[in-house]
Structure 1
């Protein structure tokens, strides 16, 4: 799959970013979220440089990703428990049925 370049704008600056074909809208959506983070941070803290805003936004986004990964791990553990319980219930039912036959 080849890449194409798309232009995104963050805090008034335009960047040309390489993007796999077919993923342009996903990258634009991500850029929109990053722009929102940057704009919110800039509004709350006028004295931060562009670099400091980018670092703060990256940390915020990293924290959000970490939280989602933790939720995913918890969900997977719950599903593993449920699957084990279901498997055990099925095995017990099959054993009881075999004993009856």
Structure 2
């Protein structure tokens, strides 16, 4: 898949970012969310350097990702548990059915 260049603006600077074709809107959406995070951080702590603001935003986004990954893992574990319960229930029903047929 080929790449294209997407211009995004963060903290008043425009960056040209290589992006796989078809993913331009996703990159722009992520850039908007990052810009919002940076604006919020700047509003709360205006004395931070650009680098510190970017670091704080990266930590915030990393934490959000971690929380979502944990939720996903918990959900997958719940689904695995339900599937095992369903399999056990089906196996029990088949055993009971075979005993009745004997």
Match of 2:93 in 1: 93
Shift in Å at residue 66 of structure 1?
Answer: 0.4
Match of 1:41 in 2: 41
Structure 2 CA distance for aligned equivalents of residues 99 and 26 of structure 1? 57
Structure 1 CA distance for aligned equivalents of residues 7 and 84 of structure 2? 49
SS of residue paired to 2:15: strand
Q: TM-score, normalised by structure 1?
A: 0.98
RMSD over aligned CA atoms reads 0.5
Q: TM-score, normalised by structure 2?
A: 0.97
The answer for unaligned runs of 5 or more in structure 2 is none
Match of 2:62 in 1: 62
The answer for unaligned runs of 5 or more in structure 1 is none
* 2:51 maps to 1:51: yes
